[in-house]
Chains A and B, each alone.
Chain A
Amino acid sequence: MNPEAKKTLRRLVIAVPLMFAFGFALVPLYNVFCEVTGINGKVFQSDNAEKLVIEDGRPLGLQFISTNNENMPWTFRPSEDVMTISTGKYYTATFYVKNTTNKTMTAQAVPSVAPSNAAAHLKKLECFCFEQQELKPGEDALLPVRLLVSDELPENIENIILSYTIFDVTEYDDEAVAQHIHEEHHEMEH
């Protein structure tokens, strides 16, 4: 094979692992893209929410939805289905959970906001979804979420739905997974 052909071959052979790596690079790129644009209902928190506190916010409906992922037997429901809130103020909402099984289980709640362009304006100071919950058989708890809706919320939005899906993660005893989730939420908080 002549040297020119070898050069072409070398370039192409290098391109293959690069594109393989690019496939994986799409994972963080995708998250960054969602964070910047606030799409996909992913809840991120980038700036200090304190400065978003204002006195005369506009009224807003905040609705809560709880969903059990398949095979998740716990009782999981919002304490109140609907709250009337005003923008630029902190509120605390609670969710009731009960482990209805006879074994100790670990759960992870994953939030989503609709409409998706409201996601960037819903700031959580504190949320049970930032960590995992472990409940003993028959144990129950009230899980709090402390949140604020920024006044920069697009004017046409009069209702926001905050939905949580609760997953059984008992089998994910892998520390790395727990760490990953923790870090991701940690980033959101700051």
Chain B
Amino acid sequence: MSAVIENHHDDHHHGPAKGLTRWLYTTNHKDIGTLYLWFSFAMFLIGGAMALVIRAELFQPGMQIVEPEFYNQMITLHGLIMIFGGVMPAFVGLANWLVPMMIGAPDMALPRMNNLSFWILPFAFFILLSSLFMEGGAPNFGWTFYAPLSTTYAPPSVTFFIFSVHIMGASSIMGAINVVVTIMNMRAPGVTLMKMPLFVWSWLITAYLLIAVMPVLAGAVTMMLMDIHFGTSFFNAAGGGDPVLFQHIFWFFGHPEVYIMILPAFGIVSHIIETFSRKQLFGYSSMVWAMLSIAILSFVVWAHHMFTVGLPLAAELFFMWATMLIAVPTGVKVFNWVATMFKGSLTFETPMLFAIAFVVLFTIGGLSGLMLAIVPADFQYHDTYFVVAHFHYVLVPGAIFSIMAAVYYWIPKWSGNMYDERLGKLHFWLSFIGVNVTFFPQHFIGLAGMPRRYPDYALQFADWNMVSSVGAFLFGVSQILFLFIVVKTVMGGKKATDQVWEGARGLEWTVASPAPYHTFTTPPKVD
């Protein structure tokens, strides 16, 4: 805390207020970052508990634990909570903590909007979760809420779902606007665009994607609302509408959304691999261009999610090639990470372990994505567990591992204390084994033809489902260890130095550990 007191002399600002109102009224980017991170952790545990309900039911064939209707609610809420409550707020939290410090800005550009964009989130998820206790149950149409399942055949709680998506969207849009205005206007002198840390670059691109597609999602749920309550027929064939239109609009949002959940991960992993290789990152500018190309391509590939709706051949070919094209910039990134490690002085602290696991397992997820991009193959894989395995490989050991890596990497800067390295490594290995045992067998049962989103399955899928469930519980339980490690680190531990890691570069490592409540109130000098 000495750093806070030192800071006191420089300006008239004070440290954080005391008590609950500190968190309610705060406009400080570090406080808001912390709120976002804890919120996403809570959602991660709730969504994870739902995943375990799903895996417990699938442990054996036949109906054991829950009713099919409740199972459908679990798969829907698990997806929505993990995406909108787990991964996205975690990245916004990291952006809040790190972007101002990385570019030498005193805070985010719009601090009060920052407070608002966080504090509406708990209400959105309160509304969504409360639908579990409503008549007719929670939304049960899958996280992609395809019409007419989500309109004509939806439970009454769908209206609450629609409003909660509106609130989540508003929160994301405000967060994204804040990030763009901060990065474009508040960089310290000398921090030119092509000198920005890659995490900042990744978030700049992500924020533009969010501003472009979250309003389209809001439009889609608004059309649903109008179909359900105001007699319109956007998606209702009886009134001249078309359910396939829903899928086009949804995936026009949905595919850029996929990159919203992975681009910040690319930024994080680049920093960590650079630090623990003790080398400069290989191919900085190609990393930037790769992210930009991925972001632009993400707008012209959406129909690869709907190859089986009856697209004309020309469209299927176009979306197949466009999708495969994304493998090129992604391949550049993977190559650069490996080239950065090549002949580096590597050490394997917990963040580095998570980062390396990210590179390997994300690549596996990317390759199964390429398989799914092949139109004739996709007719076979569509809506099977192969798809489930694919997107969990890019989201769990992809996005979520990168978030865990980021927490281990920057928590000494946030809290001033080093985490327990032995426990961190234990957490990594349990998670690594758990994630692979859970999701790798799903490739097999998917290729063998097991469809997704059913509470029961044919006997030939029993063995691998059992393995998958065992892995899921291992992974789930090891996240309790993660919670314990984080709490233990925040409470105390070995003091961290200002630089924290031997090979760490960047402005955030030049301030004290823990980072003072106000940093860079006068811009730093950057060459």
Interface of A with B (CB < 8 Å)? 1-2, 4-5, 8-9, 12-13, 15-24, 26-27, 30, 37, 39-42, 69, 108, 110, 116-117, 165, 167-169, 172, 174, 176-177, 180-181, 184
Contact = CB atoms under 8 A, between A and B. Distances in A.
B237 A23 contact: no
Given A13-B177, A181-B239, A116 B310 contact: yes
Given A17-B215, A117-B312, A180-B240, A23 B220 contact: yes
B405 to A, nearest CB: 30
B238 interface: yes
A1 to B, nearest CB: 7
A165 B211 contact: no
Given A40-B242, A172-B238, A180-B239, A19 B310 contact: no
B312 A116 contact: yes
Nearest to B310: A116
Nearest to B220: A23
B334 interface: no
A26 B249 contact: yes
Given A19-B215, A110-B238, 20 more contacts: A1-B109, A2-B185, A8-B184, A8-B185, A9-B110, A12-B180, A16-B173, A16-B215, A18-B215, A22-B219, A23-B216, A24-B219, A69-B237, A69-B238, A165-B237, A167-B238, A169-B238, A172-B231, A177-B233, A180-B240
Contact of B218 (A9, A23, A40): A23
Given A26-B252, A117-B312, A177-B233, A5 B239 contact: no
Contacts of B218: 20, 23
B163 to A, nearest CB: 16
B99 interface: no
A9 B181 contact: yes
B252 A39 contact: no
A169 B186 CA distance: 57
B149 interface: no
Contacts of B177: 9, 12-13, 16
B219 A23 contact: yes
Interface string B237-262: 11110101100110010000000000
Given A12-B181, A15-B211, A23-B215, A41 B233 contact: no
The 5 closest A-B pairs by CB, nearest first: A23-B219, A167-B238, A19-B215, A5-B185, A20-B215
A110 B241 CA distance: 10
Contacts of B234: 27
10 contacts: A4-B185, A8-B180, A8-B184, A12-B211, A16-B173, A42-B242, A69-B238, A177-B231, A180-B240, A181-B239
A22 B212 CA distance: 10
B317 to A, nearest CB: 14
Contacts of A2: 185
A108 B215 contact: no
A4 B239 CA distance: 48
A5 B245 contact: no
A39 B312 contact: yes
A169 to B, nearest CB: 5
A22 B240 contact: no
Interface of B: 109-110, 173, 176-177, 180-181, 184-186, 211-220, 223, 231-234, 237-240, 242, 244-245, 248-249, 252, 310-312, 315
Most A-side CB within 10 Å, residue of B215, B231, B310: B215
A22 B310 contact: no
Contacts of A42: 242
B300 to A, nearest CB: 14
Contact of A8 (B181, B213, B216, B252): B181
A79 B172 CA distance: 56
B238 A19 contact: no
Nearest to A114: B310
A87 to B, nearest CB: 22
Nearest to A30: B245
Given A5-B181, A110-B237, A177-B231, A19 B212 contact: yes
Contacts of B231: 172, 174, 176-177
B237 A30 contact: no
Contacts of A12: 176-177, 180-181, 211
A181 B240 contact: yes
Contacts of B237: 69, 110, 165, 167
B24 to A, nearest CB: 23
B248 A30 contact: yes
A117 B315 CA distance: 13
A19 B211 contact: yes
B257 to A, nearest CB: 13
Contacts of A117: 312
Contacts of A4: 184-185
Nearest to B176: A12
B223 A24 contact: yes
A184 B241 CA distance: 11
Contacts of B239: 108, 169, 172, 177, 180-181
B22 to A, nearest CB: 24
B293 to A, nearest CB: 21
A174 B233 CA distance: 11
Nearest to A171: B231
Contacts of B245: 26-27, 30
A151 to B, nearest CB: 21
A116 B311 CA distance: 9
A116 B212 CA distance: 32
Contacts of A180: 233, 239-240
Contacts of A184: 240
A183 to B, nearest CB: 9
Nearest to A185: B240
B312 A19 contact: no
Contacts of A39: 310-312, 315
